[in-house]
Chains A and B, each alone.
Chain A
Amino acid sequence: MGLGLLASRALRSSRIIRNSTRTIVSTPELKNADAAAAAAAADAPSDLPKRNPVGGARVHIPNPDDVIEVFVDGYPVKIPKGMTVLQACEVAGVDIPRFCYHSRLSIAGNCRMCLVEVEKSPKSVASCAMPALPDFVLSSNSGLVLLVLVENQLKYSHCISAEKAVYMHQTHDLQGPRMKIKTDTPIAKKAREGVMEFLLMNHPLDCPICDQGGECDLQDQSMAFGSDRGRFTEMKRSVVDKNLGPLVKTVMTRCIQCTRCVRFASEVAGVEDLGMLGRGSGEEIGTYVEKLMTSELSGNVIDICPVGALTSKPFAFKARNWELKGTESIDVTDAVGSNIRIDSRGPEVMRVVPRLNEGCPSFRADLKLDLTSTLPDINEEWISDKTRFFYDGLKRQRLNDPMIRGADGRFQAVSWRDALAIVAEVMHQIKPEEIIGVAGKLSDAESMMALKDLLNKMGSNNIFCEGNGMCPNADLRSGYIMNTSISGLEKADTFLLVGTQPRVEAAMVNARIRKTVKATNAKVGYVGPAADFNYDHEHLGTDPQTLVEIAKGSHPFSSALKNAKNPVIIVGAGVFDRDDKDAVFAAVDTIAKNNNVVRPDWNGLNVLLLNAAQAAALDLGLVPESDKCIDSAKFVYLMGADDVNLDKLPDDAFVVYQGHHGDRGVYRANVILPASAFTEKEGIYENTEGCAQITLPAVPTVGDARDDWKIVRALSEVAGVGLPYDSLGAIRSRIKTVAPNLLEVDERQPATFSTSLRPEVSQKVSATPFTPAVENFYMTDAITRASKIMAQCSALLKK
């Protein structure tokens, strides 16, 4: 028997002894605690390579006295007071694994994935729930039992809250060693591995048939932090799926009980539908009674769910996320201009997901972080269900060929040349003042500019955008945009909503108002028809008379406005269609003047627009010469306008419909010119707060369709009044001469002059009550009306 054989035997026997403990921990250093401690001490801070904060996070420290210093893996980090250990780690450039923690939701601390080691604490701590503390070392279990050590001596041992600990620190002026957080020690690694093993115990191994596969937090983190084998041999539990409606698909067996969806529903969406039932292994998320999730933001639970328990129903089994091409674009279904990513595969839009857009780092706003940035902060990271699920409308009812209505009243597909020739010929036969143009809800700035230029060259100035009414006031930009800005609404403490139901008109603005109301108990007064709100509000009245009373100060709500520090008035764009709109705006101006709503440091006077095209149309001056122009029109150019009222149009008028969907507008049309939808073209849209943004083409155009501005440009050529631009760049320099703010993309341009410059109006407000501007939240324009999912939603979710 040779030496080698002996040695191998000895090795084998020792391995058997080691394996008898059946450990799965892949950190053998733990076996030898002294050596590990020595190794930890060895990498003490001296000259460590520089680390960058996670996700480019920036810390804005308003008060230099509130700075504390902690050590993360030996790196000293300066953070403001009140930050959690997890946030301190992010600033230090360490990404802590987490499931339940979400920067925009309250802290639950129940997944335990974010455990880190803190020096002098007997146990590892959940970093998401633990405040980073300045001078003494706390050890806690969910921040409830605290041992306070000062200069390594136990001073307090209390059952207190984390807030109280901070308070104690402030009052006692304690000095001691800095908090030392360790994220890559054997203890932290073992803790993560153990937590991951528990999470995977009851999680099904169905990644191959799971829609979350490839974008699953559990998948990623088990690869990064989990063990390479499991020890669980018993049966896994199973949970009955819940029916949450037509949008969210549930596979509740996959749920890891992070409660993000429960917190989202109650905190952001404002519906107390979801909850946690049962305890222990019987714990499950549910609605308790069979109930659909009736929220306009319900789709966001799909994004925040870290596993595949809540997935998109329309997207189920349609594609894998690695097959998709993401295009960062803008939503045009309402005036908010939510930032979205259009995920497409080939010529198809497969899904729409929100794009994180915020001026501040990914920490909660209540942490006194930098909010002064001019970067757009529009939809945080949520989008409404309409934005998320209307995309199947892009594939239905599309116009793909130019068509001419024949003598028998039937449409016939023709070539572009013939269609444009006929339009140009008719246009020349008609008197210039009888030509009108109507821009639709979804028109981009370029095409509206081109159409206005074309009509002006033909001698007509009757062009307007639907939704703006027949005599819009485009003189003062502050009179039609949201002057406070959407993120600015968070600073308000009193709201007066005039004829607007933000929940259906602009769901993301409504979410901001709700956030403010929840955070600061801001008062909300509402004038308008009975409406659905998901926060406390006072219904002051239904007609403009109430406004006059508030302006006079005789209404009980006027005292609330008077006492408010940052009052906000939001007027709905539905008012534009009222006959007494000047009087309503005058009343609003009086209220603003009396209550100091517009100050140098605060502008609380807002108009909440309805459609993506409205703000840009008014900026470009799409104002008709006469408000009765439709009654005498002989030639109407509808550029995607489906909701304009053409009842008064003479029967012999020639109607050209240029658009992408066969919706209401085509039925009156004589010629149809197919155009591209917003997912297929590059276009500038200005949202309700005056922030210009650009859509990018995600998919190719359909059939023979062309970009809107190109059609208008081609028509001008055929008509012999060629427009002086041939490219997108050239048309944008034309826009620059009219409305330069439209080219300041992704940067909000506040209005220069306040509405106090408006002329006096002698008009009296009428007693007609305000009417709801949006009848059906899910179906507001040509694309959403073509969508099957939206039809389903409005059938099931609209009461």
Chain B
Amino acid sequence: MASVVRSIFQSIKEKGIGNFIKELKQEGYVRCLADGNLLQTKIHNIGATLVGVDKFGNKYYEKLGDTQYGRHRWVEYAQKNRYNASQVPAEWHGWLHHITDHTGDELLLLKPKRYGLEHKENFSGEGDAYIYHSKGHTLNPGQRDWTRYQTWQPTKKE
């Protein structure tokens, strides 16, 4: 605990009080007060090794030794307000779920780009713009034209 307080004072000295508070907000420490999940992750992070950061800014931690096996890898999401498991991209998914020991960065180096689409998180329940509409649905902007006939186009003759 003492080391934590010491490191806090050290960073205040380095960055100044204004920057320190700004960083606290960005890192989600302020949000911790309201969000127990985040607080627990932050506490968990103490003494853990940061294995990597993906393209979205999610941080992947690992702590071996005194952690319960199966709970030794976790992610701290980049977004502190709205986070869910679908924000983990495919390359980190395997590492995070103990499918592989290769980290996402290693996987990206290891193989040529295989995934056709950019990873997109699931926006279910996030409003009309994010709801899936079939190709025949009126709310689908690229709605398919189901008209099966061509109309006569009036052209001026003579």
Contact = CB atoms under 8 A, between A and B. Distances in A.
Interface in A665-693: 666-667
B149 interface: yes
Interface string B126-155: 000000000000000000000011111110
A400 B148 contact: no
A348 interface: yes
A661 B152 contact: yes
B120 interface: no
Interface of A: 346-348, 394-401, 403, 409-411, 661-662, 666-667, 702-703
A702 B149 contact: yes
B157 interface: yes
B129 to A, nearest CB: 30
Contact of A396 (B150, B154, B156, B157): B150
Given A410-B156, A667-B157, A347 B148 contact: yes
6 contacts: A395-B148, A399-B152, A400-B149, A403-B154, A662-B153, A702-B149
B152 A662 contact: yes
B149 A395 contact: yes
Contacts of B151: 397-401, 703
A747 B6 CA distance: 107
Nearest to A398: B149
A397 B150 contact: yes
A396 B149 contact: yes
Contacts of A400: 149, 151
A348 B150 CA distance: 12
A397 B149 CA distance: 8
A397 B153 CA distance: 8
A348 B148 contact: yes
Q: Is the interface of A mostly helix, strand, loop or mixed?
A: loop
A666 B151 CA distance: 13
Given A396-B150, A403-B154, A662-B153, 7 more contacts: A347-B148, A396-B149, A398-B149, A398-B150, A410-B154, A410-B156, A702-B149
A346 B148 contact: yes
Contacts of B152: 397-399, 661-662, 666
A394 B156 contact: no
A338 B156 CA distance: 38
A381 B157 CA distance: 43
A346 B153 CA distance: 24
A395 B150 contact: yes
Nearest to A401: B151
Nearest to A663: B152
A268 B152 CA distance: 39
A680 to B, nearest CB: 11
A666 B155 CA distance: 10
A398 B156 CA distance: 17
Contacts of B153: 662
Contact of B149 (A394, A401, A410): A394
9 residue pairs, one from A and one from B, having the closest CB atoms: A662-B152, A411-B154, A395-B149, A348-B148, A397-B152, A667-B157, A398-B149, A396-B150, A400-B151
Contacts of B148: 346-348, 395
A606 to B, nearest CB: 38
A130 B149 CA distance: 52
Contacts of A411: 154
A409 B156 CA distance: 7
A266 to B, nearest CB: 39
A700 to B, nearest CB: 10
Contacts of A661: 152
A64 B16 CA distance: 123
A400 B151 CA distance: 7
A491 to B, nearest CB: 45
Nearest to A666: B152
A403 B153 CA distance: 11
A219 B58 CA distance: 59
B149, B153, B157 pick with most chain A CB within 10 angstroms: B149
A398 B154 CA distance: 11
Contacts of B150: 395-398
Nearest to B153: A662
Interface string B94-138: 000000000000000000000000000000000000000000000
A346 B150 CA distance: 16
A401 B153 CA distance: 11
Contacts of B149: 347, 394-396, 398, 400, 702
Interface in B66-113: none
A661 B153 CA distance: 11
A656 to B, nearest CB: 15
A395 to B, nearest CB: 4
A665 to B, nearest CB: 11
Nearest to A667: B157
Nearest to A413: B154
Contacts of A409: 156
Contacts of B154: 403, 410-411, 662, 666
Contacts of A403: 154
A411 B137 CA distance: 31
A410 B154 CA distance: 7
A171 B16 CA distance: 130
A348 B152 CA distance: 17
A394 B149 CA distance: 8
Contacts of B156: 409-410
Contacts of A347: 148-149
Interface string B39-56: 000000000000000000
Nearest to B152: A662
Nearest to A399: B152
Contacts of A401: 151
Contacts of A397: 150-152
B156 to A, nearest CB: 6
A251 to B, nearest CB: 28
A273 B150 CA distance: 37
Nearest to B150: A396
Contacts of A346: 148
A408 to B, nearest CB: 8
B12 to A, nearest CB: 71
A662 B152 CA distance: 6
A415 to B, nearest CB: 17
Nearest to A345: B148
Nearest to A660: B152
Contacts of A667: 157
Nearest to A346: B148
A667 B157 CA distance: 7
Nearest to B148: A348
A410 B156 CA distance: 6
A411 B155 CA distance: 8
Contacts of A703: 151
B33 to A, nearest CB: 59
A666 B153 CA distance: 11
Contacts of A666: 152, 154
Contacts of A394: 149
A662 B154 CA distance: 8
Contacts of A396: 149-150
B46 to A, nearest CB: 62
A410 B155 CA distance: 7
A397 B152 CA distance: 4
A394 B154 CA distance: 18
A398 B153 CA distance: 9
Contacts of A410: 154, 156
Contacts of A702: 149
A703 B150 CA distance: 11
Nearest to A396: B150
A396 B150 CA distance: 5
B96 to A, nearest CB: 43
A238 to B, nearest CB: 37
A661 B151 CA distance: 9
B30 to A, nearest CB: 58
A763 to B, nearest CB: 39
Contacts of A395: 148-150
A397 B154 CA distance: 10
B32 to A, nearest CB: 58
B150 to A, nearest CB: 5
